[in-house]
Structure formats: C-alpha cells, structure tokens
Amino acid sequence: MKYKSLLTLITVLALSACTIQVPPYRADISNVSKLKEIPNESVSVSVGKIKSEKNLNKISLRGSPLVSSVGDSYGEYIENALLQELKLAKLWSGVAKKQVSGSLVDHDIDVTGFSEGDAFIKVNFVVSEGNVNLFEKTISAEHTFDSSFMGAIAIPNGQQSYVELVQKLLKNLYSDKDFIEAIK
C-alpha cells in the first residue's frame, strides 16, 4: 500500500512539471472584421519577424513551463497570429513593400489566484517601408480569466488564456489609428 501511494505521488510530481504548449492561435472574427473596414485595394502588408528574447520564451504556470506552439518563441506565435488575421482580411502579401515586425517586450500569466488569473503582454510593433519606419509603438493587453486553487483547473485555464491575450493584443493594435494610417 505504501508503494502504491509513493508511486502515485511520484507520478503526480512528474506530470506537474511537464512542459505544455500554448494552443494554436484562432483568428478572432471581430479582429478580422476591423481589418476588413480598411479599403483593401490600397493596403498590402507583409509580416516580418517579431523578436523574442530567450528569457521571454517560457512562462511558468505553477511550475509547469508553458512554451509557444509555433516555432521556438512567442515572437513566432505572435507573427503567426498577425499573419492569420491579415490573410483572412485579404491585406497580406508576401511581396508587399510595407512590413509589420516588432519585438516582444514582456508577458506573463499568473495562475496563483484562488478564483481569478490574469495575464498581460507588451509588444513593440513597427511598420516599415524599406529603411523608413512609418509606425513604432508599444501595444499592450491584459486578460482576466477564471482560475482555481486546484492546479488541474488553473493550469489549463492559464494555458488557454494566452490565445485570448494575443487576440486582445491584436485588437488593440488594429484599433490604433496611427497603425491603420501606416499600413494604408
């Protein structure tokens, strides 16, 4: 009986430290609709690199490392999200002269609360044409979600919250009038 309890404890501890991935990004229909409000005959934009420092490529959810499901970095995850929404809005072109790029400044997810978790993100976005920057601004977003004192609920909710956090980040980007003017 003692061995069975010890084996169960070891299994639980081993599983609690497993690396988990952020779910694949799902384009937000309201974000795509916002982009579709721009007359697309005048807009053609490509997506460049969103840089992410190595120390920003893991988030800890109660000891379980959360990593990007796209490439090796959260920057690539954000690139993919931006690319999905621009393509759906028919504003993306792989050969466009204007390009959206940037760098992840900071982000985190906190699942330590007993009933509520929160997350934040900051990305410095740049729109350039050739060697000229038309737009550069740090855009941020925050997200609150249901959590629990039980890790079996808090960790998956925190994991899923990253998708919603990036959706809010892109919504804030598309709501920035300077960004919209820069991509026109």
The domains found in the chain, sorted by start residue, are 19-183 (3.40.50.10610)
Q: What is the pLDDT of residues 136-183, one digit of tens each?
A: 999 999 999 988 777 677 888 888 999 999 999 999 999 999 999 999
Query: Across the chain, which distance is largest between two alpha carbons, in Å?
Result: 72
Q: Indicate the helix (H) or strand (E) that contains 134.
A: strand 132-146
Confidence category of residue 51, pLDDT binned at 50, 70, 90: very high
pTM summary value: 0.87
Note whether 146 and 157 are within 8 A (CB). yes
